Chains A and B, each alone.
Chain A
Amino acid sequence: MNTTPTTTPPASTYDRQFLLGLYERIVLIREFEERVKFLFLEGTMPGTIHQCQGQEATAVGVCAALRADDWITSTFRGHGHALAKGLSVQELMDELFGATTGCCKGKGGSMHMGNMARGMVPGIAIVAGGIPLAAGMALAFKLRRQPQVVACFFGDGAVAEGAFHEGVNMAAIWNLPVVFVCENNLYGASTHIEKVMKNSRISDRAAAYGFRGETVDGNDVLAVHAAAQRAVAESRAGQGPVLLELLTYRRTGHSRRDACHYQPKDEREAWFARDPITRFAEQLLARGDISQTDLDAIKARLEQRIQAAVVQAQQAPQPTLTDLTEDVFA
Chain B
Amino acid sequence: MKRQGIAEALRDGIAEEMTRDERVFCIGEDIGVPGGWGGAFTVTLGLSERFPGRIIDTPIAELGLTGIAVGAAMMGMRPIADVQYGDFLFLASDQLINNAAKMRYMSGGTVKVPMVMRAPIGATGRGSQHAQSMERYFTGVPGLKVVAVSTAYDAKGILKAAVRDDNPVMIFEHKLLYGSKGARAEPGAVDATSEIPEDDYVVPLDRAAVRREGRHITILGWLLMAHFAAAAAEILAGEGIEAEVIDVRSLSPIDYETIGASIRKTGRVVIVEEGPKTGGVSAEIAAGIMEHCGDSLMAPVVRVASADVPVPFSPVLENAYRPDVPRIVEAARRLAQT
Residues of A within 8 A of B (CB): 46-48, 98-99, 104, 106-112, 124-128, 157-158, 160-163, 188-191, 195-197, 256-263, 318-321, 323-325, 328
Contact = CB atoms under 8 A, between A and B. Distances in A.
A263 B60 CA distance: 18
A99 B130 CA distance: 20
A238 B284 CA distance: 52
B317 A324 contact: yes
A163 B91 CA distance: 9
A73 to B, nearest CB: 14
B127 A98 contact: no
Given A106-B313, A109-B314, A112-B129, 8 more contacts: A46-B314, A98-B313, A107-B312, A111-B126, A158-B60, A161-B60, A162-B91, A262-B35
A157 to B, nearest CB: 4
A109 B183 contact: no
Given A162-B61, A259-B183, A319 B316 contact: yes
B297 interface: no
Contacts of A46: 125, 314-315
A260 B30 CA distance: 13
A108 B128 contact: yes
27 contacts: A46-B125, A46-B314, A47-B126, A47-B127, A47-B313, A98-B313, A98-B315, A99-B314, A104-B313, A109-B125, A109-B127, A109-B314, A111-B129, A112-B129, A128-B60, A160-B60, A161-B60, A188-B59, A189-B36, A190-B30, A190-B33, A191-B57, A256-B183, A262-B33, A318-B314, A319-B317, A324-B321
B307 interface: yes
A140 to B, nearest CB: 23
B64 interface: yes
Most A CB within 10 A of own CB, among B30, B130, B314 = B314
B59 A160 contact: yes
Contact of A319 (B57, B59, B84, B314): B314
Contact of A160 (B34, B37, B61, B130): B61
Contact of A324 (B33, B34, B88, B307): B307
B102 to A, nearest CB: 20
Q: Is the interface of B mostly helix, strand, loop or mixed?
A: loop
B261 to A, nearest CB: 37
A162 B316 CA distance: 36
Given A259-B183, A261-B35, A189 B128 contact: no
Contacts of B30: 189-191
A178 B126 CA distance: 29
B135 interface: no
Grouping DSSP codes into helix (H, G, I), strand (E, B) and loop, the A interface class, with mixed when no group exceeds half, is loop
Interface residues of B, number: 38
Nearest to B130: A125
Contacts of B37: 190, 258
Contacts of B314: 46, 98-99, 106-107, 109, 318-319
Contacts of A321: 320
Interface string B112-131: 00000000000001111110
A196 B321 contact: no
A190 B32 CA distance: 10
B173 interface: no
A265 to B, nearest CB: 11
Which 3 residue pairs spanning A and B have beta carbons closest together? A109-B313, A98-B314, A160-B59
Interface of B: 29-30, 33-37, 57-64, 84, 87-88, 91, 125-130, 183, 307-310, 312-317, 320-321
Given A46-B125, A108-B127, A111-B126, A324 B313 contact: no
Contact of B59 (A106, A110, A196, A263): A196
Nearest to B308: A328
Kindly name the residue among A127, A128, A158, A259 whose own CB sees the greatest number of chain B CB atoms within 10 A. Answer: A127
Contacts of B58: 196
Contacts of A318: 314, 316
Contact of B34 (A112, A257, A262, A325): A262
Nearest to B129: A125
A305 to B, nearest CB: 24
B183 A258 contact: yes
A162 B30 CA distance: 19
Contacts of A323: 317
A48 B59 contact: no
B313 A108 contact: yes
A112 B131 CA distance: 13
Nearest to A261: B35
Contacts of A98: 313-317
Contact of A125 (B127, B307, B320): B127
Contacts of A128: 60
A209 B119 CA distance: 34
Counting chain A CB atoms within 10 Å of each CB, which of B30, B36, B84, B317 scores highest? B317
Given A126-B88, A162-B61, A256-B183, A324 B127 contact: no
Contacts of A189: 29-30, 36, 60, 84
Contacts of B33: 190-191, 195, 262
